Structure 1
Amino acid sequence: MENKLPEYAIIVAGGSGSRMQRDMPKQFIELADKPILMHTIERFYKYNNEVRLIVVLPEQQLDTWRSLCRKHKFEPFHMVVAGGATRFCSVRNGLEMVQGEALVAVHDGVRPFVELETIKEAYNTAAGHGSAVVAVSPKDSIRELTQEGSKAVPRVNYKLVQTPQCFRASLLRKAYEQPEEEHFTDDASVVEQLGEKVVLVEGSYRNIKITTPEDLLLAEAFIKETL
């Protein structure tokens, strides 16, 4: 199903680099000679160069990002918005830049290997159902922690959630009008608080979130395949 609504992508990049064990924010670490965040933006631009890109960064990182864009002569047009104290606040700030009814994908700034077909499927599914959340099946066995210790659970009943998470703008705005709650770990959990159903879209194991040194090693292996 091809949608006709405008497409936005809110790319949230609020990392500090602590889990990466570096002073530099993880979204600015270079991968194949340019920051990870630039690779992520380029995935959406390659999918559709008319996607309206909104990059959300901590306010203290805005000048650094502008300098990096000049240094690397980074051309894809995007709007830059100052984030908030939490991811919830940052997404809400990004939403303020979305005009009218549209399809809005929210994506982690450090997921630079999202497949173009996955992006397309997320937008098209959201156009038809109002929501689309990318997820994959777990590879490992899963145990649930209990008061007695732990117990095995069938992994077929579980999914590992990724991004993008795509919604109609009207639904996402309504969701983010709610007060923030501790269990809001992603956009799907915010939308579900309204009583709305969330539709899953199959993701890819290559769509990694680069947050640790081990993730960076894997990312470097992936990027070599494309050079």
Structure 2
Amino acid sequence: MNRAAIIVAGGRGTRMGTPIPKQYLEIGDKPVLMHTLEIFHKFDQSLDLILVIPENDFSFWEELKDKFGFQVPHQVVAGGKSRFQSVKNGLGAIDWDEGLVAIHDGVRPFVSKEVIGKSFEEAERTGSGIAVVPLKDSIRKLTDENRSFYQERQYFRLVQTPQTFDLGKIRQAFNVTELHHFTDDATVYEHQGWQVSLIAGNAENIKITTPEDMDYAEFLLQKSKT
């Protein structure tokens, strides 16, 4: 079966407070984005890798590849004005009609190969495989009246990526007008009336967004080498 992974990396790094977008910042010996592409390549070297970044970053990405001697094969596609449009552009770059596609945040470099594998297996079985993790903290729901109510955390999950789908179905799902509640690919899929299937993610699969995340990323990288 054909399989692809779309790595979406269109962030501008505003919360990171750096002049360089977070996906290009270095952890360990290379930029975050290269770690992410490498883990998918290590999972399956036959996987079609599609990297979606802003078109203005194309030349900078080429410079980074030369600087770090980056050899993982991938196709680069121009992102859109929103994540929705960027993913849609990535889907359009796949040149086959049947198979599976994983959609993953470029700034999640610590996803495990086991989670990637489980997402593809579930998507092949049910049409979708969405990585999630349980909550550790207690949670409360806020109201417009400035009140709060306790919620049973056992009924909630934190959503990660990869979010993996049957290619035909996710293409159909993205062939709609973008709506404000499309916070991830799973919500776009659900808009068609389809139920998503959840798989267990890995706790280390953080989304690098703030300077504190970079510190934790360095820790995770060193831990993985021991």
Q: Report the TM range for the smaller structure's normalisation.
A: over 0.9
Alignment of 1:63-212 (within 5 A): 63-98=59-94, 99-148=96-145, 149-212=147-210
Deviation at 1:125, TM superposition (A): 0.5
Q: Name the CA distance, whole Å, in 1 between partners of 2:178 and 2:156.
A: 25
Q: Deviations over 1:4-59 (max 9, x none)?
A: x2110000001111111101000000011210000000000000011000000011
- Note the alpha carbon deviations across 1:40-98, whole angstroms, 9 max, x for none: 00000000011000000011111101110111111110000000000000000000111
Superposed CA offset, 1:177-199 (max 9, x none):
01000000100000000000000
Unaligned 5+ segments in structure 1 are none
Are 1:59 and 2:55 matched, yes or no?
Answer: yes
The 2-side partners of 1:63 and 1:197 are apart by 40
Unaligned runs of 5+ in 2: none
1:16 pairs, out of 12, 17, 29, with 12
Deviations 1:150-201 (A, max 9, x none): 1110000100000000000001100000100000010000000000000000
Aligned to 1:50: 46
TM-score (norm 1): 0.97
Counterpart amino acid of residue 98 in structure 2:
E
1:147 Cα deviation (Å)? 3.0
Q: Which amino acid aligns with 1:7?
A: R
CA deviations over 1:104-153 (Å, ceiling 9, x no partner): 00000000000100000000110000001000011111111113311110
Whole-angstrom distance in 2 between the partners of 1:132 and 1:54? 19
Identity of aligned residues (%): 48
Aligned equivalents of 1:85 and 1:179: distance in 2?
Answer: 14
CA distance in 1, matches of 2:62, 2:121: 32
SS in structure 2 at match of 1:106:
strand
CA RMSD of aligned residues (A): 0.7
Q: Distance in 2 between matches of 1:58 and 1:212?
A: 20
In the other structure, the counterpart of 1:218 is 216
Q: CA deviation at 1:215?
A: 0.7
Superposed displacement of residue 103, structure 1: 0.4
TM-score with structure 2 setting the length: 0.97
Distance in 1 between the 2:38 and 2:121 partners?
20
How far apart, in 2, do the equivalents of 1:172 and 1:26 lie?
A: 27
Q: CA deviation at 1:226?
A: 2.7
Letter in structure 2 aligned against 1:163: T
